[in-house]
Amino acid sequence: MRKLLTLAIISLLLISTFSIIQPQVKAETSTGLYAGGTNPGVVYEYKGGTTWASISSSLGWSITSLVNYKGKLFASVITHPDIYSSVGKVYRYDGAPDWTLVGTLDKQVTFLIIYKGELYAGTATPARLYKYIPATTSWTKVLEYTPWFGFRSAYVWGDWLYLGEWYWDRFARWDGNTFQEFQPHYWGSCIYSIEEYKGALYAGAYIGRIYRVTAEPPVATAIWGPEPNYRYAWSLKTFKGYLYIGFDANGTGIAPLYRYDGISFTQVWSYSTTTTNYHEGIISMATDGTYLYVGVGGQAVGYPPYMSGVGTGKVYRSSDGINFELISETMGTGIQILYVPTIPDLILVSIEPIQVISNAKALVALKPTVIRINIKSTFSTRMWVDIFIFYDFRNRLYIERGPYGNGTPIDPGVNIVYIPGGPVYKESHEIHPSWTTDPSWLEWSGSGFDDKIEVWLDPLDKIPEIDEANNRMVRGMKIVFPRQLRILIIPVYFPDIGQGPFEPVLDFEREFFLATFPVSHKKTVPPTFEWVERHAIAWPGNPRYWDRSRGRWEWRIDWLYENVVMPISRMAETAGWNRTVIVLQSLGDYDAWGLAPGMLGNPENRIPVIVTSRALEVLPGVVAHEIGHTFYLWHPHDIGPEIYDAYRYWVARRDFGRGPAPSMNTFMSYRSRVGLEVWIDKTRFDMDFANVAPGWYNAPGDPVAGVPPYRYRLEFATIRWNLMDQLTVNPHAVNAEPIILISGIMFRNGTIRLHPWYRLMGVPNIANGTVGNYSIVLISGGQIMARMGFNASFCRLIEEDGILINVEWDKIPFILKIPYFPETTLIQIRDNADNILVTRTLTLNPPKVNIVYPNGGEILGGLATHTISWEAYDPDGDPLTYTIAYSEDNGETWIPLAIDLNETNYLWDTSRLKTGTNYLIKVIATDGVNTGEDISDNAFTILAGYTHAIIDLDPDTLNLKSQGEWITIYIELPKGYNIRQIDISSIKLNATISALTWPIGIGDYDADGVPDLMVKFDRNEVKRLFGVPPAPKKYFIVITGKVSNVPFVGTDFVLVISPP
């Protein structure tokens, strides 16, 4: 079970379980201290004081290693001081006094170690590694490295098993598959012991040399030695912030204990040997966190091949690492191994909230989020762990109870867990797939700095651990709100070249865009993110030409930009859209491309992008790629940055890109075109910003995508920018203000043709006081009120097959948003010499508009074309042009229909609209600058799947006092339907009153040349339907029925009166 708790429930939970879930720090206590002796090879258990109990008979000549595996104590044994005469054995302790031989392996078993939850044994002569199979009490050889004489030491560090050689000072590591020897050339004769200290490994070797090992890449560096008396460094142990190294006497009679603090080595204690054996000394160490235990005596394992093991086996301990006390009697000739079986632990290593990329500089509010948790487990088997997550400024708590309600699966070693719902990884391998949760992801509802994001492992202490304090972690993260981004998808087809209506599929594109851009998934009021797909528009004209060199049709890009892209851009702006995606019906299977035609040219137009229908099929992420250009994201193979790598975090899909090839390619590359997976790279997401000056540049190209290196010229400055800075609210965000949307076409000969302009609310993209080679001048009473410069160039960069080329145009369309100054009477566009190129006069009054139909309450059949009609006039007598839009959500979103209309009516094809009851129409009139608008007084209904009938009620007035017998309705159908095919029995008034089967008639009642059907309804039934109003009242009537099995609908009004 997964739960999302409110703050009140959280508080109740914490209060009710306070005594249970208080943070606990347990002392690092052991379940016992064991010693393995030499001559005899006996295992001892510490009982306190100076008392030890032997828990085995002699298992051999020396006990070389002890380890706890799955609740059982295992011991490795050698049978003779001479390696060539010895046999390596492994025993399992089954309870005093029973030990079971579970393996006979090579000459010497030098160590036993738990790695990735499994028991391994290392041997010498030859160098082999064996894995224990408990089910069959057998061993499988998993590694043999013949250049080495044997394995002497081992240590688990990270995801690797590090190994030291028996005969030389050599190192290697193994991850279960790959064996890497990374220090094969040092001299010396043995790596005796390895220990982790302060983020590195340290190793002791022949004549006291000490090595430091770093991980990536693995390198071993000698940092100390030889020891002044060439004594051997047999044992290392980390204790209370220091690294301790135990040496033999090497004939001096004194075996020193050194301490290392990361800078220098200091002798802190010594043991006086009892024999002349050079290799008697401090040969083993262990700690339980409270004490450092030291085993002394004669060394039994390692170079030279014959180790006499002569000495006196005893154990000392110290609580400070300096002052030691003897805690044993003599136990054989040496304490070869000391072992403290500790309670395993769960360690919370790191936590990171993730939405799109790792290590983001901020999170976006209302966007799906997971918490990536790095957990290290020292348990030998899988544990099932409950996880608490406090988030959203600690207003919410998520409890992860895993796929089966018993916790999240955590394996031995380092685990990466994504919460909620997984998956769980170990290294690059998935150990458990994701599972269903409620909620599916986490979200932040507000903005600010959340410094209370907390993860808590096993909060109810169900799992006994050595240290509960490392189960909790808190971190902070900046939370930002997304800016408004509204994207309108408009498919376009060209009947003049034989194309017809089509419906492109953009489900993946929308999902991918939401996943890779810093935008919200959640609908808000007002909306912060919208993606609306309108039905296809038929566009007049011929947009193609025949390319003889390629033998195929190609698009006329300049014609498209002027005649399609610009009008759609202006429509989108008037309806409040930030971006519009124009989907062109492809000219063939080869025709898969996208373009941001308003970028890399002056002036910029950041509104439109173009993609072809074929591109949507074969280039996943093409919409994100092209819209990325409008946010100054460029290809890595040209303007850059030259960064390709991207790591996928698709939260909504719980796809975190792990596996054989976790690294993706940035979606701003061309590599999706050669079948490679793409995502957004971190640089383009939240890091990049650079000014790019005009000039010549060398494009590096991309051999993977087949783009060669080349040179290109920037005629103008541009920038590189990241998405996070552009799409999230910051303290300097500009609010909407009155603007004028100006547009037109500039010609190389200095003339300008202007479009109708619009006064709107918006954000200017050009400010007063800016400079450029052209300027817009606002004048009032002969005085200049504002001057805004902008750059315009008749040379644009166009991309062909990944290469930017400079193309000269004779004319350039432009669209700009300038601030509106209320007293303005003239707006001029001037060139660099201040010559006036064009002037537009502003009159005093805005136009007046009144929508006639549909104006509210109507029910329209969707399978029809309807005439939108309106009335308009301008108080100043200015000619008017019109823009029309419709809404299907009661005015929250407006979808443009047409722009620059000169008539006061428009034929609206509703055949591809969905059924809805919240439709509205908006008409905007402009006199060239001033605008007026009207919206339907009330919502009207569209019934998809219904054709539309024209209904005329006769009489239009229903007198409740009159004695008439019938109400007459005339029904007229659109072209293509036969009036005689209407099923009379299907006709109903307001869905309740059936038409009479007689009298009926077919004629042309309104003399418009279209036949109509006359039907009648019982007058008394209609009167009962409306009742008796207190005053004359107009009622809406709806007539439905079927023609040729196609439903139809039509509406009219009736005035109901009840005279005295």
Residues 282-336 have pLDDT tens digits of 999 999 888 999 999 999 998 788 899 999 999 999 999 999 999 999 999 999 9
Of the candidates 656, 588, 596, 663, the residue with the CA atom closest to the CA atom of residue 629: 596
Of the candidates 687, 742, 655, 697, the residue with the CA atom closest to the CA atom of residue 926: 742
How far apart (Å, rounded) are the C-alpha atoms in residues 356 and 369?
8
Cβ proximity of 853 and 869 under 8 Å = yes
How far apart (Å, rounded) are the C-alpha atoms in residues 649 and 583?
28
Given a cut of 50, whether residue 801 has pLDDT beyond it is: yes
Cβ proximity of 962 and 1029 under 8 Å = no
Cβ proximity of 967 and 1017 under 8 Å = yes
Cβ proximity of 972 and 949 under 8 Å = yes
How far apart (Å, rounded) are the C-alpha atoms in residues 808 and 806?
7
Pairing state between β 1046-1057 and 957-959: parallel
3-state SS string over 113-157?
EEECCEEEEEEECCCEEEEEEHHHCEEEEEEECCCCCEEEEEEEE
Cβ proximity of 918 and 936 under 8 Å = no
The DSSP bridge partners found for residue 254 are 272
The DSSP bridge partners found for residue 263 are none
Residue 29 is predicted with a pLDDT of 36
Cβ proximity of 156 and 115 under 8 Å = yes
Cβ proximity of 368 and 358 under 8 Å = no
Token match 């750059």: residue? Answer: 791
Given a cut of 60, whether residue 845 has pLDDT beyond it is: yes
Q: Once rounded to an integer, what is the mean pLDDT over residues 407-430?
A: 91
Count of alpha carbons within 13 angstroms of residue 210, beta-carbon side: 27
Max avg pLDDT among 713-722, 806-815, 849-858, 961-970: 849-858
Pairing state between β 940-943 and 859-861: parallel
Q: What does 864-901 look like in DSSP terms, one character per residue? A: SEEEEEEEEE-TT----EEEEEEESSTTSS-EEEEEEE
Of the candidates 683, 715, 722, the residue with the CA atom closest to the CA atom of residue 697: 715
Given a cut of 60, whether residue 21 has pLDDT beyond it is: no
Q: Which residues of 876-909 are buried (b: 16+ CB within 10 A; e: fewer)?
A: eebebbbbbbbbbeeeebbbbbbbebeebebebb
**359 φ/ψ sector (left φ>0, alpha ψ -120 to 50, else beta):** left
Virtual torsion, Cα 718, 724, 725, 728, nearest 10 deg: 130
Given a cut of 60, whether residue 7 has pLDDT beyond it is: no
How far apart (Å, rounded) are the C-alpha atoms in residues 718 and 691?
6
Given a cut of 80, whether residue 671 has pLDDT beyond it is: yes
Q: What is the pLDDT of residues 431-441, one digit of tens each?
A: 899 999 999 99
How far apart (Å, rounded) are the C-alpha atoms in residues 897 and 922?
10
Given a cut of 90, whether residue 174 has pLDDT beyond it is: yes
The DSSP bridge partners found for residue 485 are 529
Cβ proximity of 578 and 486 under 8 Å = yes
Structure tokens at 386: 């409950």
**Structural domains of the chain sorted by starting position, each given as residue range(s) with its CATH number in brackets:** 227-338 (no CATH), 345-480 (2.60.40.10), 491-505+523-618 (no CATH), 737-841 (no CATH), 848-943 (2.60.40.10), 947-1057 (2.60.40)
How far apart (Å, rounded) are the C-alpha atoms in residues 1035 and 1054?
5
Q: Which residues lie below 8 Å from residue 627, measured CB to CB, with a gap of 6+? A: 487, 513, 517, 579, 581, 596, 609
Residue 732 is predicted with a pLDDT of 43
Tell whether omega for the bond before 756 is within 30 degrees of 0, i.e. cis: no
How far apart (Å, rounded) are the C-alpha atoms in residues 375 and 409?
11
Q: Once rounded to an integer, what is the mean pLDDT over residues 523-550?
A: 90
Of the candidates 862, 1049, 908, the residue with the CA atom closest to the CA atom of residue 971: 1049
SS3 219: strand
Q: Which residues lie below 8 Å from residue 733, measured CB to CB, with a gap of 6+? A: 483
Count the residues in the chain: 1060
How far apart (Å, rounded) are the C-alpha atoms in residues 391 and 45?
48
Secondary structure E strands in 722-757 = 737-747, 752-754
Cβ proximity of 589 and 614 under 8 Å = yes
Structure tokens at 327: 């805690």
Given a cut of 60, whether residue 661 has pLDDT beyond it is: no
Given a cut of 90, whether residue 32 has pLDDT beyond it is: no
Structure tokens at 288: 């339980």
Pairing state between β 608-612 and 579-584: parallel
Residue 427 is predicted with a pLDDT of 73
How far apart (Å, rounded) are the C-alpha atoms in residues 739 and 748?
27
Pairing state between β 413-419 and 408-410: unpaired
The DSSP bridge partners found for residue 545 are 554
Residue 109 is predicted with a pLDDT of 96
H helix count then E strand count, the chain: 10, 85
Of the candidates 581, 541, 576, 577, the residue with the CA atom closest to the CA atom of residue 562: 541
Structure tokens at 757: 């302009």
Q: Once rounded to an integer, what is the mean pLDDT over residues 1035-1057?
A: 93
Which of 13-27, 65-79, 130-144 shows the lowest per-residue confidence on average (mean pLDDT)? 13-27
Of the candidates 322, 194, 211, 208, the residue with the CA atom closest to the CA atom of residue 267: 322
**1033 φ/ψ sector (left φ>0, alpha ψ -120 to 50, else beta):** beta
Cβ proximity of 504 and 613 under 8 Å = yes
Q: What is the pLDDT of residues 86-117, one digit of tens each?
A: 999 999 999 878 999 999 999 999 999 999 88
How far apart (Å, rounded) are the C-alpha atoms in residues 630 and 84?
75
Given a cut of 90, whether residue 720 has pLDDT beyond it is: yes
Q: Once rounded to an integer, what is the mean pLDDT over residues 599-625?
A: 94
How distant, in Å, are the alpha carbons of 295, 627, 818, 1047 from that of 739?
85, 24, 5, 46
How far apart (Å, rounded) are the C-alpha atoms in residues 36 and 283?
11
Q: What is the pLDDT of residues 685-706, one digit of tens each?
A: 999 999 999 999 999 999 999 9
Q: What does 577-622 look like in DSSP terms, one character per residue? A: -SEEEEEEPPSSTT---EE-TTSSSSS---SEEEEEHHHHHHSTTH
Q: Once rounded to an integer, what is the mean pLDDT over residues 997-1014?
A: 92
Terminal C-alpha separation, the chain: 70
Q: Which residues lie below 8 Å from residue 664, measured CB to CB, with a gap of 6+? A: 645, 646, 647, 648, 657, 676, 677, 678, 679
For Cα atoms 561, 564, 566, give the angle at the middle one, nearest 5 degrees: 60
Per-residue DSSP letter, 369: B
Average pLDDT, the chain: 91
Q: What is the pLDDT of residues 893-919, one digit of tens each?
A: 999 999 999 999 999 999 999 999 999
Taking each helix axis as running N to C, give the angle between helix 622-630 and helix 507-516, from 0 to 180 degrees, rounded to the nearest 10.
50
Given a cut of 50, whether residue 992 has pLDDT beyond it is: yes
pLDDT band (50, 70, 90) for residue 734? low
Residue 594 is predicted with a pLDDT of 94
Q: Which residues lie below 8 Å from residue 745, measured CB to CB, with a gap of 6+? A: 562, 752, 753, 811, 812, 813, 814
Element (H, E) at 286: strand 280-287
Per-residue DSSP letter, 565: I
**842 φ/ψ sector (left φ>0, alpha ψ -120 to 50, else beta):** beta
